[in-house]
């Protein structure tokens, strides 16, 4: 079967978080079902060591950075993330290379056929979900089921980003050698709970008795819930705070000049030094934003633990010296990290530049707001925005929309604009709701019938020296990024 057929078949499964049809109960997550599916596939997840990463924001950036470090150290490294921006293949990578269309199609239909037999035999009550199928495909690929090699050779390690929560996420059938918790905030309350403490307890479900946790101090409720889980499980907890710079880094002038020549609007660089085992470690990351310092710190702490033989559980005969990760490997991995759509600045031969950011909840919106504060005040800017209807639209509007209000009386904002467009997703917020959120704040806004028209409108109203900021949803950023490639 073809790749196109596999993708069409996959999307026909729907999405776990899609609104339930009338009179249909919401699907419940159950790890037992994922274990049955994995068992029928030969339990590929036990053939390679893994690091499991949960949190509200920063999971993907941490995973991408740690994966890049391990690749720089010469290890065959799997990376599983979600959601994707443009192509589903992005979710499953080895050493920075996406799974091929051929391998994806072959493994997808293998999983699908196995699932069909399990349902027919009564071992599964219903077919696996979109995310469960993709997770199984990823596990098989990392276990060595690749067309390009005659023998099955698993990856040396896989970095796995949790999809939703942690406790009941399909990725959580692995036995991770390290568990990482990134920053936790309110999101997906319908599934995870209405307080930060409840959400944290769900995400702490990736922790293991006697295992190793890497995290950072954060919201007091999250800290308490993490501490309680750690004490119950008698695990080893590592605080990555020592790898965060003590003061805001100063960008070297030559770096600033280089960035200014490459892009219309330079963002502050994450270029600074921290101390690792008594030595200076140079951090020079392509990921912009002060918040990325926390994600980079988590990746550094994980790399430091992985090279410590006594810091995690792996058979001594297969890992007698730990992972051989040098300071130079860590520096190179950070420097070579690729994670698009996160404060990603795109410049064009003509017209305004485009800043893409996947901020999709209030915490992400605050992070984006902090980054916008680093931009030149006098630069005209246009917000291209949409979001999903299960997000807190009103709070995101209050955080972001006033920064683009041409009626505010601020002369530097008089050329600003806000443009809305619908997302092609069953969970998309209605244009009427987006306009109502702006109207409630007395901020002018315009609507376009689709994202292509919204981008064209934003480019038409934004001066050539201005900046278009596209945000509010991963799905929006992915489509805008694809459209931008055609400019």
Q: Strand, helix or coil at 319?
A: coil
Residue predicted with more confidence, 263 or 15: 15
**97: Cβ–Cβ under 8 A, 6 or more apart, which residues?**
none
- Using pLDDT thresholds of 50, 70 and 90, give the confidence band for residue 148: low
- pLDDT at residue 269 in the model: 83
Q: Any idea of the CA torsion for 463, 467, 473, 474, to the nearest 10 degrees?
A: 120
Q: What is the mean pLDDT of residues 235-242?
A: 95
Selection from 371, 361, 370, 328 nearest residue 472 by Cα: 361
- pLDDT at residue 193 in the model: 76
Instruction: Say whether pLDDT at 124 is over 60.
Output: yes
pLDDT in tens, 284-307: 999 999 999 999 999 999 999 998
CA distances (Å), 33 to each of 39, 103, 412, in order?
10, 24, 56
- pLDDT at residue 262 in the model: 42
- Locate 158 and state its tokens: 């896989």
Selection from 289, 293, 287 nearest residue 272 by Cα: 293
Instruction: Say whether pLDDT at 258 is over 80.
Output: no
pLDDT in tens, 360-419: 999 899 999 999 999 999 999 999 999 999 889 999 999 999 999 999 999 999 999 999
- Using pLDDT thresholds of 50, 70 and 90, give the confidence band for residue 2: very high
Instruction: Say whether pLDDT at 14 is over 90.
Output: no
- Locate 363 and state its tokens: 């915490």
pLDDT in tens, 329-367: 999 999 999 999 999 999 999 999 999 999 999 989 999
Burial of 407 (0-12, 13-18, 19+ CB in 10 A): exposed
| Rounded Cα distance, 36 and 34, in Å | 5
H or E element at residue 100: none
- pLDDT at residue 34 in the model: 97
Cis ω for the linkage preceding 83 (within 30 of 0): yes
DSSP string, 196-251: HHHHHHHHGGG--TT-EEEE----HHHHHHHHHHHHHHT-EEEEGGGGS-SSPPPP
Residue predicted with more confidence, 70 or 166: 70
CB 353 within 8 A of CB 260: no
- pLDDT at residue 146 in the model: 77
> What is the CB neighbour count within 10 angstroms for residue 20?
9
Q: Which residues pair with 54 in a beta bridge?
A: 181
CB 114 within 8 A of CB 36: no
Rounded to 5 degrees, φ, ψ at 435 are -65, -40
pLDDT in tens, 422-442: 998 888 999 999 999 999 999
Rounded to 5 degrees, φ, ψ at 302 are -65, -45
- Using pLDDT thresholds of 50, 70 and 90, give the confidence band for residue 30: confident
Residue predicted with more confidence, 28 or 43: 43
Q: What is the mean pLDDT of residues 163-187?
A: 91
For 210: left if phi > 0, alpha if psi spans -120 to 50, otherwise beta; the answer is left
Instruction: Say whether pLDDT at 260 is over 60.
Output: no
H or E element at residue 312: none
Selection from 452, 416, 448, 450 nearest residue 435 by Cα: 448
Q: What is the mean pLDDT of residues 210-225?
A: 94
CB 272 within 8 A of CB 283: yes
Rg (CA), the chain: 22
**467: Cβ–Cβ under 8 A, 6 or more apart, which residues?**
264, 265, 352, 353, 354, 355, 375, 379, 380, 381, 382
pTM: 0.91
- pLDDT at residue 436 in the model: 98
pLDDT in tens, 51-107: 999 999 899 999 999 999 999 999 999 999 999 999 999 999 999 999 999 999 999
Q: Strand, helix or coil at 51?
A: strand
Percent of the chain at pLDDT above 70? 89
- Locate 261 and state its tokens: 């020549």
- pLDDT at residue 166 in the model: 86
- pLDDT at residue 249 in the model: 53
Tell me what the pLDDT averaged over the chain comes to. 90
């Amino acid at each position: 079967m073809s790749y196109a057929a596999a993708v069409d078949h996959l999307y026909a499964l729907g999405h776990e978080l899609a609104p339930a049809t009338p009179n249909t109960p919401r699907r419940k997550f159950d790890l037992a079902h994922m274990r049955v599916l994995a068992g029928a596939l030969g339990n590929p997840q036990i053939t390679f060591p893994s690091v499991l990463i949960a949190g509200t924001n920063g999971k993907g950036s941490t995973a991408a950075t740690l994966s890049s470090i391990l690749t720089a150290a010469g290890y065959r490294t799997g990376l599983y993330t979600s959601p994707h921006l443009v192509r589903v293949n992005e979710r499953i990578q080895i050493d920075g290379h996406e799974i091929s269309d051929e391998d994806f199609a072959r493994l997808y239909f293998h999983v699908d056929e196995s699932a069909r037999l399990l349902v027919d035999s009564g071992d599964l009550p219903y077919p696996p979900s979109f995310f469960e199928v993709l997770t199984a495909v990823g596990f098989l690929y990392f276990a060595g089921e690749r067309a390009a090699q005659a023998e099955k050779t698993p990856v040396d390690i896989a970095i796995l980003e949790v999809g939703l929560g942690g406790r009941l996420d399909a990725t959580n059938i692995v036995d991770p050698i390290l568990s990482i918790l990134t920053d936790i905030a309110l999101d997906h309350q319908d599934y995870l709970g209405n307080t930060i403490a409840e959400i944290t307890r769900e995400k702490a479900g990736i922790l293991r008795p006697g295992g190793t946790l890497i995290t950072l101090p954060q919201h007091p409720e999250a800290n308490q819930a993490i501490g309680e889980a750690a004490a119950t499980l008698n695990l080893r907890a590592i605080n990555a705070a020592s790898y965060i710079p003590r003061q805001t880094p100063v960008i070297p002038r030559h770096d600033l000049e280089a960035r200014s020549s490459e892009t219309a609007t330079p963002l502050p660089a994450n270029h600074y030094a921290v101390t690792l085992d008594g030595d200076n470690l140079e951090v020079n990351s392509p990921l912009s934003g002060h918040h990325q310092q926390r994600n980079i710190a988590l990746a550094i702490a994980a790399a430091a633990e992985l090279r410590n033989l006594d810091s995690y559980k792996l058979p001594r005969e297969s890992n007698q010296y730990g992972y051989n990760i040098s300071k130079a490997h860590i520096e190179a991995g950070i420097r070579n990290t690729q994670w698009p759509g996160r404060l990603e600045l795109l410049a064009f031969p003509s017209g305004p530049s485009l800043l893409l950011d996947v901020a999709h909840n209030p915490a992400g919106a605050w992070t984006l707001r902090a980054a916008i504060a680093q931009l030149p005040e006098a630069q005209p800017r246009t917000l291209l925005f949409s979001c999903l209807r299960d997000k807190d639209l009103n709070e995101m509007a209050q955080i972001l929309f006033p920064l683009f209000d041409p009626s505010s009386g601020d002369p530097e904002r008089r050329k600003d604009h806000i443009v809305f467009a619908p997302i092609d997703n069953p969970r998309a917020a209605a244009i009427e709701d987006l306009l109502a959120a702006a109207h409630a704040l007395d901020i002018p806004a315009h609507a376009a019938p689709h994202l292509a028209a919204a981008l064209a409108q934003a480019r038409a109203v934004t001066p050539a020296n201005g900046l278009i900021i596209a945000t509010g949803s991963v799905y929006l950023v992915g489509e805008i990024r694809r459209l931008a490639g055609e400019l």
